[in-house]
């Protein structure tokens, strides 16, 4: 998001069943720690049981070893958009986050 002080990046974790944001983080830089902070916040708030399927795009922060390790530590499976690498790949799941971000109003 563009602000009067420059770019501000927002990472979110959506619970598609509850239809709400359960984890978030903001930073002036786009990096894996931003995504990890949002994930950790969601894990602390929701405390999901093992077997959860987590969908993400193929961004480097989500493909990073640190992010993948955090998911595995909690027994969470990963579904990634893009190339069909497994039976879990569901590109249409990214539409929920896209829809949320499109609803933001920008003042310039």
The answer to whether 76 and 44 are in contact (CB under 8 A) is no
The CATH number covering residue 13 comes to 3.30.420.10
Residue 66 lies in a domain: yes
Q: How many CB atoms lie within 10 A of CB 43?
A: 19
What is the pLDDT of the chain when averaged over all its residues?
Answer: 80
As given in the structure block, the two tokens for residue 99 are: 């829809």
Residue 93 has pLDDT above 90, yes or no: no
Q: Which domain holds residue 32?
A: 2-102
pLDDT in tens, 21-63: 999 999 999 889 999 999 999 999 999 888 888 888 788 888 8
| pLDDT of residue 85 exceeding 50 | no
pLDDT at 15: 86
Residue 76 exposure: Cα atoms within 13 Å on the Cβ side: 21
The CA distance from 76 to 72, in Å, is 6
Taking CA atoms, 95 is separated from 24, 26, 57, in Å, by 18, 21, 11
Choice between 107 and 38, residue whose per-residue pLDDT is larger: 38
Residue 107 lies in a domain: no
Q: Is the dihedral of CA 14, 9, 32, 45 positive or negative?
A: negative
pTM for this prediction:
0.73
What is the DSSP secondary structure assignment for residue 93, as one 8-state letter?
G
- Structural domains of the chain, count: 1
Is 41 inside a domain boundary? yes
Please report whether residue 17 resides in a domain. yes
Q: Does 108 fall in a domain? A: no
């Amino acid at each position: 998001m563009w602000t009067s002080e420059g770019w501000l990046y927002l990472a979110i974790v959506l619970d598609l069943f509850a239809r709400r944001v359960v984890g978030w983080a903001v930073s002036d830089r786009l990096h894996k720690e931003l995504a990890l902070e949002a994930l950790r916040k969601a894990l602390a708030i929701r405390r999901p049981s093992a077997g959860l399927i987590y969908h993400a795009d193929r961004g480097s922060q989500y493909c990073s070893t640190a992010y993948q390790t955090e998911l595995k530590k909690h027994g969470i499976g990963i579904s990634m958009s893009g190339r069909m690498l497994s039976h879990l790949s569901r590109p249409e799941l990214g539409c929920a986050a896209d829809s949320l971000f499109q609803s933001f109003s920008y003042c310039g």
